[in-house]
Structure 1
Amino acid sequence: MDPFRCVATIAPSFCSRFMSTKINSVDSSQGSSAREPEVPVRIKFKRLDKTGRHIIQILDKEAVEEVKAQRQMPDIKPGYTVQLKVEVPENKRRVSIIKGIVIARRNAGLNSTFRIRRMVAGVGIENLFPLYSPNIKEIKVIDKKKVRRAKLYYLRDRLNFKK
């Protein structure tokens, strides 16, 4: 048996994407008619995680617009001194007033947060608040300082950070 003859019988008409080592048995009744190889049909599906993420983004934007329509939200930036009126659920829904410097802000739609640093009894305390939380009753900007950083974490090392 000639080794070259065996190679010639291996799928003479094949696509570059679909290679097969299956030996074609060409029937003498069919002759040498060009047969297309059986390529499996690819069915395209939409990725459900992408579709779901898109729907969540739309709902997130609608929720932010709804909260902004209900109450006035001042623009809060790092370096601003703010006063918050916060309803504390653990304290029988009493309103606490918190005053401090905004040291960070994270913009993430409905999940946007800001971090406030303040001094209580000589100890520095940081609080992280969701911007659109229903527990925040009022946000008032008291003072605006111009800063050159988006995150003012260096204030953690300073004792007199209000100056």
Structure 2
Amino acid sequence: MINFKNQNIINEFQNQYLKKSLPNIEVGDNIKVGVKIIEGNKERVQFYEGIVIAIKNTSINKTITVRKVLQGIGVERIFLIHSPKIASLTILKSSKVRRSKLYYLRNRKGKASRLKQRFN
């Protein structure tokens, strides 16, 4: 069992690596994630755009599952938000949702998978 002194040391160490300027991402948001990719000796940023269907964990371990439909096939990808491989996160639009996980979108196609837009 970890005592409080050790837990404080772990929290201080993790806080060094947390990204400070992240947008408030929620489930149902349509986001654009910039991922750093290394090809040979070159580094570039590739963008991945889709709907956030799940958010898991907290602090340094926080992950988001982003789903996009590409040529009729659903593609999901899990991103570790505080990873150094994530170059940018931008929220394109938000949707009105009543669930914490939108796994039901996996079974829907076309217009049935649309979400109502939320205006802030």
The alignment's TM-score, normalised by the length of structure 2, stands at: 0.79
Q: Quick one: structure 1 residues 93 and 155, their matched pair in 2 at CA, closer, same or farther if it must change by over 3 Å?
A: same
What stretches of structure 2 of length at least 5 have no aligned partner?
116-120
Contact 2:17 2:82 (C-alpha < 8 Å) held by counterparts: no
Q: For 1:95-106, what aligned pairs fall within 5 Å after superposition?
A: 95-106=45-56
- Name the residue aligned to 1:59: 10
Q: For 1:71-150, what aligned pairs fall within 5 Å after superposition?
A: 72-89=21-38, 92-150=42-100
Q: Secondary structure of the residue that 2:105 maps to in structure 1?
A: helix
User: RMSD of the alignment, in Å?
Assistant: 2.3
* CA distance in 1 between partners of 2:30 and 2:19 (Å): 21
Deviation sequence 1:99-157 (CA, Å, 0-9, x none): 00000001232111000000122210000000101111110000000100000000000
Identity %: 33
Q: CA deviation at 1:64?
A: 3.6
Q: Secondary structure of the residue that 2:18 maps to in structure 1?
A: helix
Q: CA deviation at 1:66?
A: 4.6
Say whether residues 1:50 and 2:13 are aligned partners: no
- Name the residue aligned to 2:104: 154
Deviation sequence 1:21-74 (CA, Å, 0-9, x none): xxxxxxxxxxxxxxxxxxxxxxxxxxxx323x86246423553465333xx100
What stretches of structure 1 of length at least 5 have no aligned partner?
1-48
As a proportion of its length, which structure holds more strand? 2
Give the structure, 1 or 2, with the largest relative contact order (CA under 8 Å, sep 6 or more).
2
- Name the residue aligned to 2:118: none
Contact 2:66 2:78 (C-alpha < 8 Å) held by counterparts: yes
Letter aligned with residue 31 of structure 2: V
